Amino acid sequence: MEALITLLPGDGIGPEVTECTQKVLDAVATMFGHTFNCDTQRIGGAAIDATGNPLPAATIASCEAADAVFLGAVGGPKWSDPNAKVRPEQGLLGLRSVLGVFANLRPVKVYSELVGASPLRPEILEGVDLVFVRELTGGIYFGEKTRDATSASDLCTYTVDEIERIVRVAARLAAERNGRLCSIDKANVLETSRLWRNVTDRLMPSEFPDIELETLLVDAAAMHLLSRPADFDVLVTENMFGDILTDEASMLAGSLGMLPSASLGTSTVGLYEPIHGSAPDIAGKGVANPCASIASVALLLRHSLGLHAEALAVEQAIGQAIAAGARTADIAAAGEAYISTTEMTAEILRGLN
């Protein structure tokens, strides 16, 4: 197979983990006889510095021509002035719009060897294997915004069509897994959530009668994620709730550095990125955890390229490295030795040879 993959290293630790990603793509190509042509482009703060635009035309053109897009991270203190008219995050939001990706998949798997890295008790973490499906292009992040000297507002809007399409993505995923779907809203307060619940309650029995549906208010969901996480299979929610809850869920796995994501739309072209952000405090120190980025490669192989065996091989290689005791600083126990970003990548690559 031959495929074009756009790489967007971005800011902070983004270039470091993107380099690791490319090494894994090269290893998979060699192992399975594929050709992956990678085109590296700018986004976020790096693009602002070079062009004044967080999403330059050349980046858009490359992404539109690609079979899949990998993003490292965007943002950092250099560009964090809240009054700035141009910000790195605008590049990410713009890219999601360009690619038409509306469904963000964030799997959370707890490795038994890493239960000590989580602040939760080991017995709570036993058997945790869940996926968040977050609506990505609607809600308060994309609504009309106003601000003057004394007030500000952000409009949260959802349509029936937007809710239906994300719930269908989540329900289909649940059908491939354990047949359980949890829909999260705030229907006791918000009109958008009341619409979300009405649409979900109507759609699920008619189109997915075999899926077990649970509905939780977002505050209750936040609590249950920490008290009974193993009870969840697939969870679906709107944009802002999903953003917050998936960061909370990272504590189940022990670190943001372990969690990948896939942003999908109606085409096979997807946007793949670790959820950890640019982590400017550790940028350039060689200690970033590449596991989330490499796991994102597995999602890329599976969802955009249809290479399921290759995706599984990457995931198994990560598991083998963890089982063998490879640890970066964020997942190492107190006093436990840890290795660098490149050394962790090398441990994973050994599992692909």
Is there a single domain that holds both residue 150 and residue 51?
no
Report the Cα 269 to chain-centroid distance in Å.
15
pTM of the model: 0.91
193 conformational bin, left if phi > 0, alpha if psi -120 to 50, beta if neither: alpha
d(CA 38, CA 35) in angstroms, rounded, equals: 10
What is the pLDDT at residue 12?
Answer: 97
What is the pLDDT at residue 247?
Answer: 87
Q: Which of 245, 94, 232 is closest to 170 using CA atoms? A: 232
Active site includes 219? yes
* Pair 65, 32: CB distance under 8 Å: no
Active site includes 39? no
Active site includes 26? no
Is there a single domain that holds both residue 150 and residue 185?
yes
Element (H, E) at 291: helix 291-303
Is there a single domain that holds both residue 189 and residue 139?
yes
Number of C-alpha atoms within 13 angstroms, CB side, residue 152?
Answer: 6
Is there a single domain that holds both residue 106 and residue 127?
no
Is there a single domain that holds both residue 15 and residue 83?
yes
Active site includes 141? yes
In the set 186, 233, 272, 330, the catalytic residue is 186
Counting as low any pLDDT under 70, the low residues of the chain are none
Domain total in the chain: 2
In the set 111, 243, 272, 330, the catalytic residue is 243
Is there a single domain that holds both residue 263 and residue 292?
yes
Query: Which of 253, 283, 304 is the last residue before a domain boundary?
Result: 253
Is there a single domain that holds both residue 127 and residue 232?
yes
What is the pLDDT at residue 239?
Answer: 96
In the set 23, 67, 109, 141, the catalytic residue is 141
* Pair 59, 47: CB distance under 8 Å: yes
pLDDT digits (tens, 9 = 90+) for 115-162: 988 999 999 999 999 999 999 999 999 899 999 999 999 999 999 999
* Residue carrying structure tokens 């798997």: 109
Active site includes 81? no
- 10 Å CB burial of residue 228 (0-12, 13-18, 19+) is exposed
Is there a single domain that holds both residue 105 and residue 156?
no
Query: Which of 199, 233, 253 is the last residue before a domain boundary?
Result: 253
Is there a single domain that holds both residue 162 and residue 192?
yes
Q: Is the dihedral of CA 339, 74, 44, 345 positive or negative?
A: positive
Is there a single domain that holds both residue 203 and residue 124?
yes
pLDDT digits (tens, 9 = 90+) for 41-54: 999 999 999 999 99
* Pair 345, 353: CB distance under 8 Å: no
The range of the structural domain enclosing residue 269 comes to 1-110+259-353
CATH number for the domain spanning 205: value is: 3.40.718.10
Is there a single domain that holds both residue 13 and residue 97?
yes
Is there a single domain that holds both residue 99 and residue 140?
no
Residue type at position 296: S
d(CA 152, CA 145) in angstroms, rounded, equals: 8
In the set 49, 161, 219, 281, the catalytic residue is 219
Query: Which of 253, 282, 303 is the last residue before a domain boundary?
Result: 253
